[in-house]
Amino acid sequence: PGCDDAVGHAVDHLMYLVSVPQYWPNITQMFKLCTFFNGYNPNDQANFFQSLAGNFEGIVQYNKDNRLSGMSKDITIDTLCDMMLDTTIGIPLERFAAVNTLLLDSGPCLSFNYDNFISTLKRTDLYNKDAPGARQWTYQTCVEFGYFQSSDYPGQPFGSLFPVKFFVQQCKDIFGEKFDAQLLNSSIVRTNTEYGSIQPQLRNVTFPNGSIDPWHALGIDESLADDVTAIYIEGTAHCADMYPASDDDPPQLVEARNKIEEQVKKWIGVSENVQ
């Protein structure tokens, strides 16, 4: 309780500072930016706020997942909210900046420059170490899904500076002018038509979803048939069932994995006693 409000207060404060040029050096220093903050550039502004929201999005998505790489599983929703409520760190804005510093880890600075971001995603070479897989995922988002994590949703605490139109502009800047909102909307209709939306016609499939994973809202959450089942895993996040088992796994995750194993054995005609 109170975490969401603390983030909202921090963002409101930051949006005020962004509007006053004399505070831009403070923003640059506080958030360890790679380049000087220029509030006259709306795309840089949007990318900056989207990056700060992304700090929380990533931790929520993978909360307590037993991942072997990537962000440490020891940094959780509780970690970030404890920081946002810790008055010894300072006012909410200072706590918000402390979260950013924590998630930078050993990185030297936060890159928020929009043009640099677009240049990275325009690269087509095989070994793009700056953003492995990001171009492919962005392309799918622009021509299949429209899965933008925007600031348009009412009631969220991250401000209003990165709306859907900002992400559509990214599609155009990365892949070309034809990748506009009209193409995106028609492509989403095609995707839902081709794959059946939330009533797909298929067999021998199970759909696991974690209650904490924000993406579960797009998933199949009710079984469609005896051989098309949904498994809702309370208290787990993104793809928790796909990561290696751990002694710390909650009982409901263990049970979900067992159910999935039983179903797969049934589909391929293997005895449930076979390990």
Distance CA 147, CA 145 (A): 5
Q: What is the pLDDT along the chain (275 residues), one digit of tens a residue?
A: 899 999 999 999 999 999 999 999 999 999 999 999 999 999 999 999 999 999 999 999 999 999 866 555 689 999 999 999 999 999 999 999 999 999 998 789 999 999 999 999 999 887 777 778 899 999 999 999 999 999 999 999 999 999 999 999 999 999 999 999 999 999 999 999 999 999 999 999 999 999 999 999 999 999 999 999 999 999 999 999 999 999 989 999 999 999 999 999 999 998 666 66
Q: Are residues 188 and 213 in the same domain?
A: no
Residue 45 lies in a domain: yes
Q: Are residues 123 and 173 in the same domain?
A: yes
Distance CA 187, CA 238 (A): 25
Rounded to 5°, angle at Cα 157 from 153 and 161? 65
Length of the chain: 275
Cβ-count burial 81-94 (b if 16+ within 10 Å, e if not): bebbeeeeeeebbe
Q: Are residues 7 and 103 in the same domain?
A: yes
Q: Are residues 172 and 220 in the same domain?
A: no
Residue 200 lies in a domain: no
Residue 224 lies in a domain: yes
User: pTM, whole model, 2 decimals?
Assistant: 0.92
Q: Are residues 224 and 158 in the same domain?
A: no
For residue 127, what pLDDT is reported?
77
3-class SS at 181? helix
Name the nearest CA neighbour of 100 among 118, 75, 64.
75
Q: Are residues 106 and 159 in the same domain?
A: no
Q: Are residues 167 and 212 in the same domain?
A: no
Q: Using the structure block, give the residue that is written with the tokens 């700090």.
A: 55
Q: Are residues 46 and 67 in the same domain?
A: yes
Q: Using the structure block, give the residue that is written with the tokens 């079984």.
A: 223
Q: Are residues 132 and 106 in the same domain?
A: no
Q: Are residues 228 and 254 in the same domain?
A: yes
Residue 155 lies in a domain: yes
For residue 129, what pLDDT is reported?
76
Containing structural domain, residue 82: 1-112
Residue 1 lies in a domain: yes
Q: Are residues 1 and 94 in the same domain?
A: yes
Domain C-terminal end among 163, 195, 227: 195
For residue 74, what pLDDT is reported?
85
Domain C-terminal end among 62, 82, 112: 112
> How many domains does the chain fold into?
3
